[in-house]
Every structure is written in structure tokens, then in C-alpha cells.
Amino acid sequence: MDGSLAQLGALDKLFADSEASGQAKTSYGKDAPVAVSGMTPGMIGPPKAAVVKAKPKPKAVADRNEIWDADAVDAVDDEPDDGRPQAEYEIVYKQNVSPEDMFLGVDPERHAGVSCSDALLLKVLLPGTKLADIELDVRETFVRVQAPKLKLKAWLPEKVDSTKGNAKWDGDKETLAVTLPIIHDPLYGSVSASNEMD
């Protein structure tokens, strides 16, 4: 026990001697807590002017219920507001049912994970409209319907084949039904039975 106390005393004396000897403190440059004596690497070259930072603009108070800012969305509004209201619509998934679907859904030609829907059915309610007054524009990701009293631009949840769809007008219900086949990702295209067994 005496040895450890003696060692601690010697250590204490060593630190006290180094502080009392008056050694110069290390310099860290202009922004250091100690005074600079002599040149430092930061003093090489012309003196730097102080940079005045502009105060940032205060942000406008955002709605706390918004999911994202308007700046974060790169949406381009190509539909000018002409006063016509948006038509009511509904999107329904359709599936071609085959005998394989009736027996435990075993179909070696379709991948069960991505082929659960084969087409989209868009139903647009257009009251007071005649078939001759309807303009229909179908694209891969959206459908645009123009009528004298109503308009619609509906973004589709899946990519569709715009060249193979069909549209039907029901005059009694004043409803336009547009059926569009879904383009499935080729990564999950048809899978043969031999590939599934491997």
C-alpha cells in the first residue's frame, strides 16, 4: 500500500513541477484561447476580409397537415382552370379469370405476385353529356376526359397500354367506361413451370 501512495505522490509532484516551470502554452492560431506569438500557417497570404452572412429569409408558416412542401413536388399544372368542375370517377382493377384460377390459382403462365390484375376500368360520370361531345385522351400514366360541362385528368395507379384499350358510353347512366390493359414489368413477366421448380 505504501508503494502505491508513494507513486501517486511522485505523479502529483511531476504535474506540479511542470506547471510551476513556466513553460509557454501551445498556440492554436487567432481563434485560440491563448495569445499568438509569431507567425502561424493561417497568417500566410493576404488578410482575409470578414464574411458577412446574409440573414436567411424567415420561412412562411406551413400548414402542419401538409405531407410535403409545394417546392418538393415537380408537378406541372398543364390544365388551365377554365371554370369547369372535375367529373366524378372511379378506378377498378379487372382480372381475366381462367380455369386455372378456379383450381387454387395454379397458372404456370402467370406470376401470382404481379398478375392479380390484368386491366384497369375507369368509370367517369358525365351527367348532361352526349357521346358526340366527349373528348378522350389516353396516355400511359393518365387519362384526360373533356366535356362541355365537366373535365377530368385522372392519374392511373399502373402503367397501361393506351393503344389496346376500349371505351363504352352508357347513355342511360351517363357514364363513360374505359378499359385499359395493364403493362406488367418485364422483370416479373410470364414464368414457366420449369423455372418455378428449380
List domains and CATH numbers for the chain. Answer: 88-188 (2.60.40.790)
Collapsed DSSP state (helix, strand, coil) of residue 171: coil
- Give the residue carrying C-alpha cell 406551413: 62
Which residue spans within 46-164 are E strands per DSSP? 88-94, 119-125, 135-138, 142-146, 151-155
**CA of 110: how far to CAs of 18, 164, 184, in Å?**
83, 20, 11
Short-list 147, 144, 154, CA closest to 126: 147
Q: Whole-angstrom Cα distance, residue 3 to residue 166?
A: 98
Instruction: Report DSSP state, residue 166.
Output: E
Collapsed DSSP state (helix, strand, coil) of residue 95: coil
pTM of the model: 0.54
Q: Which residues contact 63 (CB under 8 A, 6 or more apart)?
A: none
Q: Whole-angstrom Cα distance, residue 85 to residue 83?
A: 6
Per-residue pLDDT of the chain (198 residues; tens, 9 = 90+): 567 888 888 888 877 766 666 555 555 555 556 566 677 777 777 877 777 777 777 766 667 787 777 666 665 666 677 888 999 999 998 887 777 666 666 666 666 655 567 899 999 999 999 999 999 999 999 999 999 999 999 999 989 998 999 999 999 999 999 999 998 766 544 444 444 444
Chain centre to alpha carbon of residue 5 = 66
